[in-house]
Amino acid sequence: MNSIIPSHIEDIILVIEELKSESKYTEARETALQALAKHTDDYRIYEELADIYIFEENLDKAEEVIGYARALHPDSGTGAYLEGYIAAARWDFDRAISILSVANGKFPNNAEIIRNLGWSFVMKGEIARGLSFLRRAYALAPEDMMIINDLGVALMASGAEEEARALFEKSGHTVGLGAIKAMDI
């Protein structure tokens, strides 16, 4: 357990972010919980904790914690993104689209927000609209394998198998290429 944490919120968040980037989620969670004991009213620490729970695939805890963050600061773009991500992960695509649209308005060039928004439209059956968002996400982050995967799957769903094949080949996405080859049977 990390017994000494910085006193300034910004420094605490940097420590948590560094731990997350090193996949040290247990330490990141413990650091966030320690920080919350001293800073119970800072929404940013709740957002960090919710993000950690998402990485740990504990959506119930993530949803609970993001609720606290959103109650403290309902206009937070990061809070909106996390809440929208959780909604999409729970297959509540109407809610995800509504919330992720707010996050997209606050961070209009965030490829991850745009990817989740596009995927939510695809999953709702609005493939053309979803594709437009996924293409935009791809333009912003052409090396992101999650974006490549979602765009490729959406392209296949739209009937554009050749475009999906070219995307997967260009990126070296072997799982996507396997799916395309399985369709060629």
> Does residue 111 surpass a pLDDT of 70?
yes
Assess if residue 179 is contained within a domain: yes
Q: Does 68 reside within a domain?
A: no
Residue 130 lies in a domain: yes
Q: In angstroms, rounded to a whole number, what is the distance separating the alpha carbons of residues 38 and 137?
A: 38
Structure tokens that stand for 76 in this block: 């937070």
Cα separation, 41 vs 30, in Å, equals 17
pLDDT digits (tens, 9 = 90+) for 75-94: 999 999 999 999 999 999 99
User: Is the pLDDT reported for residue 29 higher than 70?
Assistant: yes
- For residue 76, how many other CB atoms are within 10 A of its CB? 21
CA distances from 89 to 44, 46, 146, 148 (A): 22, 19, 14, 18
Question: 4 to each of 12, 31, 45, 52, how far by Cα in Å?
Answer: 10, 9, 16, 19
Judge whether 103 lies within some domain.
no
pTM exceeds 0.95 for this model? no
Total domains in the chain come to 1
Q: pLDDT tens digit string along 129-155?
A: 999 999 999 999 999 999 999 999 999
Structure confidence at residue 3 as a pLDDT band (50, 70, 90) = very low
Does 25 map to a domain? no
Q: What is the pLDDT of residue 2?
A: 43
Q: How confident is the model at residue 1 (pLDDT cuts 50, 70, 90)?
A: very low
Cα–Cα distance, 152 to 175 (Å, whole number) = 11
75 within domain boundaries:
no
- Summarised one tens digit per residue, pLDDT across range 34-82 is 999 999 999 999 999 999 999 999 999 999 999 999 999 999 999 999 9
Identify whether 156 is part of a domain: yes
Kindly state whether residue 10 falls inside one of the protein's structural domains.
no
Percent of the chain scoring above 70 in pLDDT: 89
Give the structural domain span for 131.
108-185
Question: Which CATH number characterizes residue 177's domain?
Answer: 1.25.40.10
Q: How far, in Å, CA of 185 to CA of 182, rounded?
A: 6
